[in-house]
Chains A and B, each alone.
Chain A
Amino acid sequence: MMRVKSGAMALIVVIVFVAGIGGSMAFNLWKTTSDKEPAKYREGALAGKANPADIRGSYALSDIVAAFDVPLADLARAFGAEKEKDPAAFQVKSLEGRFPVDASGKEIGTDSVRLFVALYRGLPITAAANTGLPAAAAEILLAKAPLDAAGIADVKARTAGAVAGAAATAAPATAASAPAAKEPAAGSGTATKTEPTADRTIKGSTTFQNILDWGAAKQDIEKVLGGPMGAASTVVKDFATAKGIEFSTVKTALQALVDAKK
């Protein structure tokens, strides 16, 4: 009867780990970080271009420069990383907690970088209502981004530290009055949109389960998506980003499904 002694067990454990990891490295399967390549738009005029909505906290500024061709100097200055020892290696998640939440509740974090990059490059994006921009980022966008009047107003309204009155007079962007980027945009052609907060409103955190609960049929949802919707627990925005679909394009159609059931 085959016995395994402790010396053999030690060897087996080490060999299985070394062989498993080494073998997967040899076949290029050993991945301990994401590729730092954001998902791409798959439809519309922007098909094939990187989607800023997929920028993640683990991205360094150099990853964003590579994916979106935003100058490092602008990116670093916008988010206060220009004095870092290596601004290119500055990770987006490092922003969390770096800027205090202002009196109006605007937060500066990963979503701010997504918004900045999208506006800088004239790409469509759906940012959260409380996503803020540092003053330096707003300054750069106002000077260099292809913004129309509504876009300029939205940037001003999102600038951290901006007075509430400025936000109110700046015609906050909504699905109906979203400022359009001057460059061609995919899908709905909108740039920034704030998320409505009313019940049964599709937001950045809405899951497929929410939409099902609100009465929409699975087949209708899949018709909008053009394919299977995935797990009910999946966040619609994450699903759209992963599939290379601009969230704003499906959001409108899904909202219509939900509204029809009210």
Chain B
Amino acid sequence: MRKKSFPIRRVVQIAFFVLIALISVNNGLLKAGVQIPPLSEVSLHAICPFGGVVSIYQVVTAAAFVKKVHQASFILMGIGLLLALLFGPVFCGWVCPMGTVQEWIGKLGKKILGKRYNRLIPASLDRVLRYLRYAVLVWVLVMTALTGKLAFEAYDPYYTLFNLWSSEVAWTGYAILAATLVLSLFVERPFCKYGCPYGAVLGIFNLFRIFSIKRNPPTCTDCKACDKACPMNIVVSDKKGRVRDHQCITCMECTSERACPVAETVEVKL
């Protein structure tokens, strides 16, 4: 059995998680007049790339950002979109701390449920639910355009997670975060699959990204290891070449570096 490559994605995920956690803690300390030296007064809204997405309408029509959103969000949105154009939603698989937390809880779920983990929702229902995040995206964009305020803030589990101690979090945020964390014990990345509006935006790039996950049918042994490894339940083993599924998060768990036992059979390629 070929040895899996070093899980460098985990290292990157932990690095971004720690960075966001430090910024969050710094924000809390600032209110008490204390500051973690290298961190400036940066709010979580200011470094959320989705803030840039929901501000586009306001910037175009009124030359102003949505309240609480700043120029940095636009720059991060640009970075996220550039990466998505090249490699798909690599932000979701490698950077997003909310995805990371769901994965961590999912590890516990795998230990409890074994092979049943991430296979509990009937495929027919799951297929429909996967489009729910686009409905969420449309709702968020419309409501933000109508009100000029961050419509998703009160429901955002990511914002809630890093503001647990803040009085600015709505009860709906706590409820959705709690539901996400509990569901993560049964389903891998439930919020990414069914609810994340930013994932919906980036997911569209899977249809035309420059570097895609590609399966090489002649060398494939049809062992389905790639299918089992995919956290988003994408069936890779039936693809004739490029994987163009809108739910792919470019985590590369299916590739020949990780799950696939045959070299150069599932890879990220031009």
A-side interface residues toward B, CB under 8 Å? 1-7, 9-10, 12-14, 16-17, 20-21, 24, 29-34, 85-86, 89, 94, 97, 230-231, 233-235, 238-239, 242
Tell me which of B6-14, B152-160, B172-180, B195-203 binds A. B6-14
The answer to whether A233 touches B148, judged by C-beta atoms less than 8 angstroms apart, is yes
Kindly identify which residue among A10, A20, A33 contacts B78, using a CB–CB cutoff of 8 Å: A20
How many cross-chain pairs have Cβ atoms below 8 Å apart between A and B?
114
Chain B contacts with A in 31-59, Cβ cutoff 8 A = 31, 33, 40-43, 46-47, 57-58
Shortest distance in angstroms between B157's beta carbon and chain A's nearest beta carbon?
Answer: 22
B-side interface residues toward A, CB under 8 Å? 5-6, 8-9, 11-12, 15, 31, 33, 40-43, 46-47, 57-58, 61-64, 70-72, 75-76, 78-79, 82-83, 86-87, 90, 94-95, 145-148, 167, 211, 250, 252, 255, 257-258, 267-270
Which DSSP category, helix, strand, loop or mixed, fits chain B's interface?
helix
Shortest distance in angstroms between B148's beta carbon and chain A's nearest beta carbon?
Answer: 6
How far is A9 from B57 in the complex, measured between Cα atoms in Å? 32
With A2-B270, A85-B33, A89-B33 given, is the CB distance from A231 to B42 under 8 Å? no
The answer to whether B8 touches A6, judged by C-beta atoms less than 8 angstroms apart, is yes
Shortest distance in angstroms between B71's beta carbon and chain A's nearest beta carbon?
Answer: 4
For the complex of A and B, 5 pairs with smallest distance between CB atoms? A231-B61, A32-B46, A31-B71, A2-B270, A20-B79
Q: What is the chain A residue whose CB lies nearest that of B8?
A: A10
Chain B residues, Cβ within 8 Å of A6 = 5, 8-9, 252, 255, 257-258
Chain A residues, Cβ within 8 Å of B12 = 10, 13-14
Q: What is the chain B residue whose CB lies nearest that of A17?
A: B79
With A231-B62, A234-B148 given, is the CB distance from A29 to B71 under 8 Å? yes
The answer to whether B72 touches A242, judged by C-beta atoms less than 8 angstroms apart, is no
How far is A14 from B90 in the complex, measured between Cα atoms in Å? 11
The answer to whether A230 touches B62, judged by C-beta atoms less than 8 angstroms apart, is yes
Kindly identify which residue among A1, A5, A9, A94 contacts B87, using a CB–CB cutoff of 8 Å: A9
Chain B residues, Cβ within 8 Å of A4 = 87, 211, 267-269
19 contacting pairs across A/B (C-beta < 8 A): A3-B268, A3-B270, A4-B87, A4-B268, A6-B257, A7-B5, A9-B90, A13-B94, A14-B12, A21-B72, A24-B75, A31-B71, A32-B40, A32-B46, A33-B42, A33-B70, A231-B57, A233-B145, A233-B147
The answer to whether B270 touches A1, judged by C-beta atoms less than 8 angstroms apart, is yes
Q: What is the chain A residue whose CB lies nearest that of B252?
A: A6
The answer to whether B71 touches A234, judged by C-beta atoms less than 8 angstroms apart, is no
How far is A30 from B73 in the complex, measured between Cα atoms in Å? 9
The answer to whether B62 touches A234, judged by C-beta atoms less than 8 angstroms apart, is yes
Q: What is the chain B residue whose CB lies nearest that of A84?
A: B33
The answer to whether A32 touches B42, judged by C-beta atoms less than 8 angstroms apart, is yes
Shortest distance in angstroms between A66's beta carbon and chain B's nearest beta carbon?
Answer: 16
The answer to whether A30 touches B145, judged by C-beta atoms less than 8 angstroms apart, is no
* Given A7-B5, A20-B75, A32-B70, 6 additional A-B pairs, CB 8 A: A10-B9, A31-B71, A32-B46, A94-B31, A233-B147, A234-B148
Chain B residues, Cβ within 8 Å of A234 = 61-62, 148
With A2-B269, A20-B79, A21-B75 given, is the CB distance from A9 to B94 under 8 Å? yes
Shortest distance in angstroms between A91's beta carbon and chain B's nearest beta carbon?
Answer: 8
